[in-house]
Amino acid sequence: VSVLEVPPGSLYGKENLPYGVYRRPPGGEPRIGVRVHEAVLDLALALDDASFAVPTLNPFLAASPQRWAEVRVALQSLFGGPVDDRALVPLCEVELLLPFAVGDYVDFYCSEQHARAVGQMFRPGQPPLMPNWHHLPVGYHGRSGTVVVSGTEVVRPMGQRRGADDDHPDFGPTQRLDIECEVGFVVGPGSVLGSRIGTEEFNEHVFGLVLVNDWSARDIQSWEYVPLGPHLGKSFATTIGPWVVPMAALEAARVPTPTQGDKLPYLAMDEPWGLDLELEVAWNGQQVSRPPYRAIHWSPAQMLAHLTVNGAATRTGDLFASGTVSGDEPGTQGAFIELTRNGEQPIRVNGEDRSFLEDGDEVAITGSAVCAGGGRLGLGECRGRIAPARP
């Protein structure tokens, strides 16, 4: 028996309590845990509640905000008291698994900085922002079956590319493999077909937040994406962090969104809120960018209201992500295509000039939420290494 406590300043104390699914190799069964400093607290053992001895968060996500709140209070009350040693497993002894079964995955495009930068590159000579951009959170469906957990290797995709001066496409491994540093939101109780979720109902429907890396093959994407949007340039893999940080914890990190113009009433909010999340992108261990989530134009509540305004149903485990997070300052862009200006201004990574990802490269996205009262909450890590293409 130990005392459940964390050192001062830990990013994973009682104010955070992100949920994940872990396994103790070899042979351990997947179970739900929350991260407490550098350990996983097994929820079934800590709370004597067998409903957490399951391999996915989905049943808990589906329960209700009231249940989430009760469990949060119960967990917080354990701090400072005794805890069974078997319930506290060092992080270094566990394997972290995909925390929930993903329903539909929608990826938005809510960073104005990113949308402008990519628009300039993909549609030179045209206005970088489409006329709809300031009126609605533009988004599309990604492939939920290829959402993988941090640590999963990413096989370099093969595909069609066409050079600007070529008549015909050729086929081969992508030469412009990129990242998109994002934040995703995880739906709890779903909503029925034909109904809508208003901006004020966000808390009833969204449980928490994960880090997201929406890997992108820019050459494949730029050839395929008209007129129906990105497909194979994205669908080969999307990595999410293993920890789902409760929105309840993140209320302390709410900040106003950037100023929004006139909006249709279904997107209106008295005070549109964003989140003060400081993200970091490390390329082979070297920090190359610090994207500021607070620059994101639309509130997550507006994203969900838009997603369902046509009556689309939601399901437990649905994931909707912000789109690439990019700031205005140099070194704050969430994609290499922006950081390197379409590959034309390589950046130095461990002494080498680099534009896009090479085989063996590893990218890790980390971040923390900056709380109003001081203090930070860790968001975990979203990591992936590039494996060679399989021709």
Residue ranges that bind its own copies, judged by CB under 8 A: 103-104, 106, 109, 119, 122-123, 130-132, 135-136, 138-146, 148, 152, 155, 157-160, 162, 168-171, 190, 193-196, 217, 220, 223-233, 235-237, 262, 264-266, 306-307, 309-315, 318, 387, 390
- Cα 308 to Cα 144: distance, rounded to the nearest angstrom: 18
In angstroms, give the least distance from the CB of 7 to its own copies. Answer: 38
Answer whether 153's CB lies under 8 Å from 384's CB.
Answer: yes
H-state helical runs in 148-299: 202-205, 218-224, 247-250
Which H/E stretch holds residue 337? helix 336-339
* Matching residue, tokens 């409760």: 246
- Of 162, 156, 170, 167, residue with least CA distance to 217: 156
Active site residues: 114
Nearer to its own copies, 219 or 381 (CB): 219
Q: How far is the CB of 130 from its own copies (least distance, A)?
A: 5
CA angle 67, 149, 224 (to 5 degrees): 115
Answer whether 79's CB lies under 8 Å from 68's CB.
Answer: no
Residue (152 or 203) nearer to its own copies, CB: 152
Tokens describing residue 80: 């400072």
Residue 289 beta carbon to its own copies: minimum distance, rounded to whole angstroms: 23
CB 199 within 8 A of CB 269: yes
Q: Given the structure tokens 């999307």, which residue do they identify?
A: 238
Sign of the dihedral through C-alpha 122, 127, 129, 135: negative
3-state secondary structure of 241: coil
Query: Quick one: 132 or 350, whose CB is closer to its own copies?
Result: 132
Closest distance to its own copies from the beta carbon of 144 (Å): 6
| H helix or E strand, kind and range, residue 211 | strand 206-213
Q: Is residue 107 within 8 Å of 139, Cβ to Cβ?
A: yes
- Smaller CB separation from its own copies, 52 or 109: 109
The distance of closest approach from Cβ of residue 360 to its own copies in the complex, given in angstroms and rounded to an integer, is 16
